[in-house]
């Protein structure tokens, strides 16, 4: 049985730096966010959620162009115009980059809204870049909504991890 293609080694720094440099409003979600919160599950791609206002779509399109993304799994000759209108017409895009697989998500099941998730996110330094990282509670909600086998396994760990973090916070307060 062929194994799943795990893609290139992920280098988060150039991807996050490009988003920051272009002033993109985004929140790190997915496995990298889980790692930042203390999960022990490895991940092979970078997922970010992004704000859908027109200005942010323009900035995101510029950042993606600077990174040099290509559509993952699409024939190389498939026409794809990377601009704010294309991003507005879609929501979730999966890309290949020279820095590894990179997904940008405008529509995420399990959360009330991007704005609510952003409000609950935390500023953390990842790969040398200060970024917003989704809260464990929101990561749990997203994993529950996705509900694939791997998500179900990660939910169990995230819930235990969230309990552990709360115990530590309560211990620090008491």
Partner 1 sequence: MGEDLVLKAEKRDTGVDLTLNRANLELTPEQRVQKGLEFADFARANRGGESPPQEP
For residue 101 the two structure tokens come to: 């697989």
CB closer to partner 1, 31 vs 106: 31
Measure the CA–CA gap between 51 and 116, rounded to whole angstroms: 11
Q: Give the nearest distance from C-beta 150 to partner 1 in angstroms.
A: 14
Q: Max CA-CA distance within the chain?
A: 61
Q: Any contact of residue 164 with partner 1 (CB under 8 A)?
A: yes
Q: Give the nearest distance from C-beta 68 to partner 1 in angstroms.
A: 21
Q: Give the nearest distance from C-beta 97 to partner 1 in angstroms.
A: 15
Measure the CA–CA gap between 81 and 117, rounded to whole angstroms: 29
Query: Residue 117: which residues within 8 A CB-CB, separation 6 or more?
Result: 27, 29, 49, 108, 111, 134, 135, 138
Q: Any contact of residue 1 with partner 1 (CB under 8 A)?
A: yes
Among 32, 48, 69, 111, binds partner 1 (CB under 8 A): 32
Q: Which residues bind partner 1 (CB under 8 A)?
A: 1-3, 6, 9-10, 12, 31-32, 35-44, 124-128, 133, 156-157, 159-161, 164-165, 168
């Amino acid at each position: 049985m062929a194994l799943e293609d795990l893609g290139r080694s992920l280098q988060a720094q150039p991807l996050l730096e490009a988003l920051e440099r272009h002033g993109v409003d985004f929140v790190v979600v997915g496995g990298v966010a889980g790692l930042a919160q203390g999960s022990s599950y490895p991940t092979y791609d970078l997922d970010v959620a992004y704000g859908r206002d027109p200005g942010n779509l323009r900035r995101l399109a510029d950042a993606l162009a600077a990174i040099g993304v290509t559509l993952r799994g699409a024939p190389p000759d498939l026409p794809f115009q990377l601009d704010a209108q294309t991003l507005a017409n879609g929501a979730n895009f999966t890309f290949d980059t020279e820095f590894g697989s990179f997904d940008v998500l405008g529509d995420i099941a399990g959360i009330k809204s991007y704005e609510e998730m952003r409000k609950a996110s935390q500023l953390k330094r990842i790969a040398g870049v200060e970024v917003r990282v989704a809260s464990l509670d929101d990561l749990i909600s997203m994993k529950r909504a996705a509900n694939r086998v791997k998500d179900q396994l990660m939910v169990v760990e995230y819930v235990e991890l969230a309990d552990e973090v709360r115990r530590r916070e309560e211990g620090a307060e008491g």
